[in-house]
Amino acid sequence: MAGNPPVLPPVDGTDTGFNPNFDSPSSNGNALAEGLGSASAEPMQSTCTQPPEALQNGPDPKVQEEVQRVLYSDIGVGTLLNRLKASIASARDFSTFLKRRGATEEEHASTLRKLTRSTMENIQKPDARHESYQRQFQMAVHANERIADNGTQYGLALHAMHENLLQLATKMDSSRKTWKQQGLAAEKKVHDAEALAEKAKAKYDQLAEDLDRVKTGDTGAGRKFGIKGPKSAAQHEEDLGRKLQAADQDYASKVQTAQAYRKELVATTRPQAVSALLDLIKEMDAALTMEMQKYASFTEKLAVNNGQVVSPQSRDGTAPPTPSINKMIYEINNDRDFEEYISKHASKVPAVRTEVQYVKHPTLAPSQGQQKPLPVASNDRRTSMLMQGSQPSSFPQPQPQPQPQPEAPQSPQQFMPPQQPEPIQQPSYQTYGTPYQEQPLPDQQQPPYPNQPPSFSNASRYSQAAQPPPPQSEYPRGPAGQVAAQQSSGVTYSSSAPPVNPVFGVSLDELFRRDGSPVPLVVYQCIQAIDLFGLEIEGIYRIPGTSSHIQSLKTMFDTDTSQVDFRNPEAFQHDVNSVAGLLKQFFRELPDPLLTREFYNKFIDAARVEDDTTRRDSMHALINGLPDPNYATLRALMLHLHRVQQNAEVNRMSTANLGICWAPSVMGPHKGNNMADAGLQARVVITILDNVLQIFDED
């Protein structure tokens, strides 16, 4: 019982509880001091390896004697119980710290891993920088992945320590309750026996004093009346003598009982309780100290190995296996990257073209043998447009109507395939300097092109692309605007022809089976256009677009969706409100609404729930039950509307406004004559928007 308390050595770096495969050596106190330099080695040694002065000199005999005196006193068991209770509470506090510290590190590692994954995807995109920037940045991102792996293993190790320490604290608490009941019961038994002995002694002393007063003739010696009247002095003395004898026997008996209990307590019960409680306290304190030292060791490992990832140190004079992050970044060569990028486009440089000359068609000047070229300055604008729309110079050139013009050979750039007949002749056509070779006559057959490849039959597409844009600052409305939209989007369609590949009025399941995309392309294109150009437009989705323009955009998608690109605002004539109207019209024309008729009543019932959390959870469960195309499309739409709502200070479209505007489109018309369904429909959309990041992930 008087032995020295155990001294726990620092946790060795070979502990298997947390041993990730890092590049750094075992990270005990000495290795950490060597890795971090001599400046930090001395403090680390002074705090981790040198024992306290008291432990070097041994325990103090006076202190040990005082401790033993307290332990085996009447307050010893209670004092030990309080000390064990404090040790258990400290272990639980440290266990909670380990749990939260590990969770924090795991969350940090998970977030870092997600960041590295998304960054790697962005680095590998074709529109990002490549060359040395891509290589070095990928190496730096991989270093962050290793740091995340270190953090994950560190968090798992702390979680295991938390479980072990908490389990031990629970076990110790149960043992403490057992010994508390046994030890305190024995102490109380002795205390109660001694209290009874003291009480018997007080009664015995009182009767002895009364008897002495009666013998000495003191009139205040007590009561002298009996049942039959007053007692005589002799009778009173005899009565007190009998009572005194009985009290003396009772007093002696209780003293003997108390002495027996005390002897048993001091000899057996108390030493057992003290010894057991001491063992529990030492075990609890040793386990807590061990876990704390493991925590310190693991934290050192994490810091050292993360440092090895950021800036690897050489071993035994050899070069580190990987460079430091600083060196990775410094090896990015911007000039060389730029030169490599430009050199990759060397094969795309067009051949040197001869100067474009104006040659008048022979049929318009039959008497002239040769035409003078038009000055270059008046032909600049048309030249640039012609080069964009003309076919490659390697195509064989067709010959015009046979005319004797030996002195004026045509250059390859002078050829332009015949234009399709148009109902209205543009009076300013010649002013653009178009190398128009001949006029298509009704009875005149086109000249043969014996050497023309099959792909040259689409030459009209080049001529359409070569047409100058409308001179107005904005695209015109009506038929002219439809033609301009066709030219800017590259899709040619006729409003009277039936849809070639219909999108509107087709179910989401059918579009998914046909196109292979869970989110229809028209939804993707419209969301993309509004995200790029419409988030700050006031009243977006509330202010309607132009009906004729919406109809023309609808025809474009029904003709060939793959040829529409709304990243170019010219494709929709810079009219974002019409794009918003087109998106709403697509959902209104679905055969089955986005939230489906099957789930309509369930969504309405969920909207009637007053508790916000219950209503959110009910709708979340219903959304998870939607078909895959409906779920994917709803997710894309709601995340987009969430981005619209984030700009509500500018576009004035709050969640409530969006719910009112979109409820009929995604749920269909309300059933019956109950107009309250309209408000419940809006509440469905508002609830989804308010909890969009809980219902759908934003990745």
Three-state DSSP state, 225: strand
Q: What is the pLDDT of residue 223?
A: 55
Helix, strand or coil for residue 335? helix
Contact 247, 204 (CB under 8 A): yes
Dist. CA 23–CA 354, nearest whole Å: 64
Lowest mean pLDDT among 19-23, 126-130, 468-472, 550-554: 468-472
Q: Name which of 387-396, 511-520, 560-569, 617-626 the model is least confident about.
A: 387-396
Q: How far apart are CA 179 and CA 175, in angstroms?
A: 6
- Which residues, listed in sequence order, are joined to residue 318 by a DSSP beta bridge? 315
**Which amino acid appears at position 510 of this protein?**
E
Q: Does residue 239 or residue 502 have the better pLDDT? A: 502
Least confident of 211-225, 350-364, 661-675: 211-225
CA distance 394 to 414: 14
Cα separation, 301 vs 154, whole angstroms: 9
Round the average pLDDT of the chain to a whole number and report it: 75
The CA dihedral of 154, 156, 160, 165, to the nearest 10 degrees, is: 50
Question: Which residue has better confidence, 306 or 489?
Answer: 306
Note the helical H segments in 541-627.
Answer: 547-559, 576-588, 600-607, 612-624
Query: Where does CATH 1.10.555.10 sit in the chain?
Result: 508-694
318 three-state secondary structure: strand
pLDDT reported for residue 432: 33
For 380, other C-beta atoms within 10 Å of its C-beta total 12
d(CA 412, CA 389): 14
Which of 312, 297, 403, 394 shows the shortest CA–CA distance to 353? 394
Over the stretch 268-283, which tens digit does the pLDDT of each residue have? 888 888 888 899 999 9
User: Which are the contacts of 578, defined by CB distance < 8 A and separation ≥ 6?
Assistant: 545, 546, 549, 550, 553, 572
Q: What's the pLDDT score for residue 484?
A: 43
Contact 176, 236 (CB under 8 A): no
Secondary structure, 3-state, 289-315: HHHHHHHHHHHHHHHHHHHHHHCCCCE
Kindly list the distances between the CA atom of residue 438 and the CA atoms of 70, 442, 452, 611, in Å, as whole numbers in the listed order.
122, 13, 18, 77
Tell me which of 285-294, 332-341, 416-425 is least confident: 416-425
Backbone angles phi, psi at 225, to 5 degrees: -105, 135
**pLDDT over 50 (residue 245):** yes
DSSP state of 230: B
pLDDT digits (tens, 9 = 90+) for 575-606: 999 999 999 999 999 999 999 999 999 999 99
Tell me the range of 161-165, 199-203, 423-427, 440-444 where mean pLDDT is highest. Answer: 161-165
Distance of alpha carbon 449 from alpha carbon 456, whole angstroms? 10
Q: How many other C-beta atoms are found inside a 10 Å radius of the C-beta of residue 72?
A: 14
- Taking residues 601-617, report their average pLDDT: 94
Collapsing DSSP states into helix, strand and coil, what is residue 377?
Answer: helix
At 183, the pLDDT band (50, 70, 90 cuts) reads confident
Q: Is the pLDDT of residue 372 over 50?
A: no
In this prediction, residues 99-108 reach a mean pLDDT of 92
Between CA 127 and CA 150 the distance in angstroms is 32
The CATH class given to the 508-694 domain equals mainly alpha
Query: Cα–Cα distance between 521 and 617 in angstroms, integer?
Result: 30
What is the percentage of the chain residues whose pLDDT exceeds 70? 69
Distance CA(549)–CA(486), nearest Å, equals 12
Top-ranked range on mean pLDDT: pick from 322-331, 365-374, 389-398: 322-331
- Among 404, 461, 413, 459, CA closest to 435: 413
The number of helix segments (H) and strand segments (E) in the chain equals: 24, 0
Where on the phi/psi map is residue 450: left (φ > 0), alpha (ψ -120 to 50), or beta? alpha
> What residues contact 514, with CB distance under 8 A and at least 6 apart?
506
Handedness of CA 356, 360, 363, 367 (dihedral sign): negative
Which has the minimum average pLDDT: 388-392, 402-406, 527-531? 388-392
Residues in the chain: 699
Q: Please tell me which residue, 486 or 559, carries the higher pLDDT value.
A: 559
pLDDT at 449: 36
- What's the confidence (pLDDT) of residue 426? 35
**pLDDT for the residue numbered 222:** 55
Tell whether pTM > 0.75. Answer: no
The segment(s) of the chain belonging to CATH 1.20.1270.60 are 70-215+236-310
Q: Where in 258-334 does DSSP place strands (E)?
A: none
For residue 563, pLDDT beyond 70: yes
* H or E, element range at 168: helix 131-215
Count of CB atoms situated within 10 Å of the CB of 252? 14
Considering the chain, what percentage of its residues have pLDDT values greater than 90? 39
Average pLDDT over residues 216-233: 62
Give the C-alpha separation, 345 to 334, whole Å: 17
Whole-number Å distance between alpha carbons of 260 and 117: 77
Cα 97 from Cα 292, distance rounded (Å): 11
- Separation of CA 259 from chain center: 72
CATH among 3.40.50.1100, 1.10.1060.10, 1.20.950.20, 1.20.1270.60 for 70-215+236-310: 1.20.1270.60
> Rounded to an integer, what distance in angstroms lies between the CA atom of residue 613 and that of residue 527?
29
> Is residue 473 within 8 Å of residue 453, measured between CB atoms?
no
